[in-house]
Structure 1
Amino acid sequence: MLPSFFTTLLSFLVVLTVIVFVHEMGHYLVARWNKIAIQTFSIGFGPELFGWNDRHGTRWRVSAIPLGGYVRFVGDMNATSALPDNDVIANAGPELRDRLFVSKNVWQRISVVIAGPVANVLLTFVILYALLLGYGRYTIPPVIGDVVTGSVAAEAGLQPGDRILSVDGYAVRGFEDFQRLVATAPQRPVTIVLDRSGAEKTIVATPEAAETTDRFGKTHRIGRIGVSRDVENSDVTLYRPGPVEAVGMTFEEIRFIVDRTVAFIGDFFVGRGDREQLGGPVKVAQVSGEVATLGFAAFVNLIAMISLNIGIFNLLPVPMLDGGHLVYYLIEAVRGRPLSPRVQEVGFRIGLALVFTLTIFTLVNDLL
């Protein structure tokens, strides 16, 4: 069942608001910890819809365009914190000057900048960990039932009865793990470790690219090697890890998502990229509405996935993003002095053009 427009809109706003709030709260809390004067904490861009001032003088606001957010420090020229406002800095008294972002040492500024993406990763960890402890996971034995003649699996030497132990270093606890690890690696070699009659073997196979359609009619490009297995009710078990084991499983899941995300981006540089899988705000809204119809756990899991991807995206070394600020500050740490305002301004203009171009591309891609 396709979601209604209201469900899609509301789901999108919930997803984006939670993720943006956590990201900006990361910046805010570390800035407060470093005694930095904060002018504005905004969810959204553009005209303010409503807001209030706290006892520290920070303006908390919800703005009209819900496609992001920002923390603006006293002495910033604008909401991007790209360049300082020299007039404000020049007229600041001694007490305020000590609390300006630009007055802090480079490592304090680095900690503030990196706190946003770290907050996104922490949100992902907390959600995945809670879901794993609360719901557990249904699993079936990772044993191959059939191998299609002439398939990638047959050519690689996989056989019925093989028990899969790991793929690309990721532990395989169930056949569903094996399917997912292969499906997320179309046309990329995967290293499969298996147990065959008590002997451990390692096989390398390259899944072929195939298209599949989900329950909402969306087409996805996945990897397939040509194996399957029949599933009886008795094969399905609910596995509930303990609190300590769940920590390791959650970290492994995050590592898997990061690895596959980086590989997905890398595919575009070697001619394997599928632009249909790229998405901007429209696609995020569509997916949010669709997943919301699947229940609470699926919806919260989506928030975790998007949060992690936004954290990764913000660490790209592009001026205007957190990663771009980090590059500037790391250069400053090595040189002992910051880059000139002119160089920084040129970098931010290039970064703005790149981000704007990517936004337009994903928007057009979503609508086509």
Structure 2
Amino acid sequence: MEFFISLMNKIWAVMPFLIAITILVFVHEWGHFWVARRNGVKVDVFSIGFGKELFGWTDKLGTRWRISLLPLGGYVKFVGDADASSARSDSDLINTLSEEEKSQTLHSKTPLQRIAVSVAGPGANYVFAILLLAAMTLWNGVPKNYHLSVQDVLVGKIADKAGILKGDIIVKLNHQELNKKSDFVSVISSHSGQDISITVKRIEEEKAVEKSFDVPLYSIVNGEKVKEKLGVVVSQMPGEMEKASLLESFSHAFKFTWNLSVQMLKGIGELIVGKSQEVGGIFSIGAMAKQSFSLGIQSFLMFLVIISINLGLVNLLPVPVLDGGNILFATIEMIIKKPIPEKTQEFFFKIGLALILTLMLYTNYADLVRFEFFGWIKSLFFKG
């Protein structure tokens, strides 16, 4: 019985992630599907998940709708495609098709039509995010101000030792007021290895009180200072809210989407040049999904907005295998006015695939280190 309860708890823990990934993948692939059909492209498969089909059905136009074994993504496969990325055509298969069937392949369409199909997936993620955020803003209003809330304190880290608690509101750093997460990160980074004063607002005996802590962003090892991270998870939370009109709601949604996209691009740039190592893989996304779900429906919907924007932006990067790679190839074809040779496409496809797989391995390894997975494995075999 105890094992069954433990198993159910583990299944329940991953449910928010599975719900989120299913919704966002469906939105993304629906964008490709919808625009493809309107451009006369036949869709062979619309799959949520990868691998073996668990169940599915075929519609009257011949598309196989399927739910597959590994719920970590999805794809639409068009007739004549060599793979689910739609980056390459299957020449041998296309040669067996009738002229009418050939005209229904994606690769028989004009470069502009192929660009439209490729843009439609990321575009659908952006539209979904903007509509959802605008609806939430219309319902809740727009924040008049923000505050920084401590969402989690890592056990044994500097903040924990200093006495900072989950739920504290950070109001000052070094006696300087702040309410933006970017300001918090900037001040903490600029004082790495130094002492810093942190003032928080906390509810004690039903009263809001302010407490200040002198926190060293270092530890002493063998008589020498060693830089350490603060060890808190901080979120920028809305304070007072005021009603918003429909126009204001969409304006807020567009501004948020634009600003987040710019921040993400800067983060990707810093990662490429080695200025940043803060990356998260599937385990980080799962942890965020679980945390946002536990905080309530509003928090989970906001998580969907952020991840949908992330998914849309990443897929627009000009990397073969991604939608952005397909857009790049079609754009080059428009410029040189002839198709790019299949061998050239296949060469860059392999490079793109290698880059994506390497990034996935790196981000997920970083997650396992962050969540102390290897330490846990070690403890199973080397107790005491």
TM-score under structure 2 length normalisation: 0.72
Q: Which amino acid aligns with 1:66?
A: P
> 1:108 Cα deviation (Å)?
0.3
CA offset digits 1:241-272 (Å, max 9, x no partner): 11111111111111111111112222234543
Partner of 1:306: 307
Partner of 2:356: 355
Root-mean-square deviation (CA), in Å? 2.7
Q: How far apart, in 2, do the equivalents of 1:322 and 1:301 lie? A: 25
Partner of 2:255: 252
Partner of 1:136: 141
Q: Which amino acid aligns with 2:336?
A: R
Partner of 2:343: 342
Out of 56, 59, 63, the position equivalent to 1:51 is 56
Q: How far apart, in 2, do the equivalents of 1:45 and 1:89 lie? A: 24
Instruction: Give aligned pairs, total.
Output: 301
Alignment of 1:133-172 (within 5 A): 133-140=138-145, 148=174
Q: How far apart, in 2, do the equivalents of 1:33 and 1:9 lie? A: 36
Q: How far apart, in 2, do the equivalents of 1:249 and 1:184 lie? A: 24
Q: How far apart, in 2, do the equivalents of 1:131 and 1:245 lie? A: 12
CA offset digits 1:161-206 (Å, max 9, x no partner): xxxxxxxxxxxxxx74xx1342466769xxxxxxxxxxxxxxxxxx
> 1:42 Cα deviation (Å)?
0.5
% identity of equivalent residues: 35
1:7–1:289 CA contact under 8 A, matched in 2: no
Q: Say whether residues 1:265 and 2:262 are aligned partners.
A: no
Q: Which amino acid aligns with 2:86?
A: S
Q: How far apart, in 2, do the equivalents of 1:4 and 1:126 lie? A: 33
Q: Say whether residues 1:40 and 2:41 are aligned partners.
A: no
Q: Which amino acid aligns with 2:318?
A: P
Q: Which amino acid aligns with 1:325?
A: N
Q: How far apart, in 2, do the equivalents of 1:289 and 1:256 lie? A: 25
Q: How far apart, in 2, do the equivalents of 1:146 and 1:307 lie? A: 32
> 1:52 Cα deviation (Å)?
0.4
Partner of 1:238: 241
Q: How far apart, in 1, do the equivalents of 2:349 and 2:20 lie? A: 28
Partner of 2:109: 104
**Shift in alpha-carbon separation, 1:213–1:5, aligned structure 2, 3 A:** farther
**Shift in alpha-carbon separation, 1:287–1:148, aligned structure 2, 3 A:** closer
> 1:72 Cα deviation (Å)?
0.4
Q: Say whether residues 1:24 and 2:25 are aligned partners.
A: no
Q: Say whether residues 1:285 and 2:286 are aligned partners.
A: yes
- Secondary structure of the structure 1 residue equivalent to 2:61: coil
1:38–1:71 CA contact under 8 A, matched in 2: yes
User: Where in structure 1 are there 5+ consecutive unaligned residues?
Assistant: 154-159, 161-174, 189-207, 224-235
Moved more, 264-273 or 248-257: 264-273
TM-score under structure 1 length normalisation: 0.75
**Shift in alpha-carbon separation, 1:28–1:147, aligned structure 2, 3 A:** closer
Q: Which amino acid aligns with 1:13?
A: L
> 1:80 Cα deviation (Å)?
2.2
Q: How far apart, in 2, do the equivalents of 1:251 and 1:362 lie? A: 29
